[in-house]
Structure 1
Amino acid sequence: MKKDNLIQQKSYQFALEIIWLAQKLNVNKQFVISTQILKAGTSIGANVEEGIVGQSRKDFSAKLAISYKEARESHYWLRLIRDAKLYDAGEINQRLSDCEEILRILTAILNKVKESEV
């Protein structure tokens, strides 16, 4: 992983945090929500990785757009976990903050790609 690729680093670290969170939710028998946040939260980085090696700028943009959608879904599940009091609000708020940072980065990248297509 390149050290200077911020979205790659942030999405990978977020995926690790989500894996750990899902494991903790499983201990509390929150299997359905655990599976949902695990799928969405780890998919962000997977699509970033696919986009990085995309065959075209259009492919790159499409994969990062999917990453954005997965980040939005992750944000939804994290809010649900917090508001349903299924896990420590402080830790969930930190994950929400991480997710919001990822959303800002992805938005900036996608806007830059759109500008370059004009």
Structure 2
Amino acid sequence: MGKVAKPLTIVVFPPLDEWPEIQKLQKQGHTILSFKPIPGGFRTLGADCVEDAISLMVEADIILGPRCWYLTELHRKHLTQAIKQARLRKYGTITKKRKKGDKDEKVQQQTSGGEENVDNTDSSFDPGC
């Protein structure tokens, strides 16, 4: 399995860190930060620990958890779309699936005015992740 050209940082809370889709993303080169359950919850942590956790989450491109946006088994199909949107926000580009006969994948670039331009550029993003 190839590595992605534009890796993302994804914060994952249990039990989502055990999903095969998340493990596949890590093998593709994305940084997966997994938080284990804290006895007593975040309220029992010191201020320094909470600040460190918040700093990590602020830098994350995607945050996934069982109570974050109510991500459940039924929402797994939205994981690919979340990755596309995070890549668009972070890098300004997302790839579209190739049509039969096309040699290059088409990349949408978002400009500051919200316009989208199509450019034939090769990218290693696997939309089926």
Query: Greater share of strand residues, 1 or 2?
Result: 2
Q: Same fold (TM over 0.5)?
A: no
Q: Which has the larger radius of gyration?
A: 2
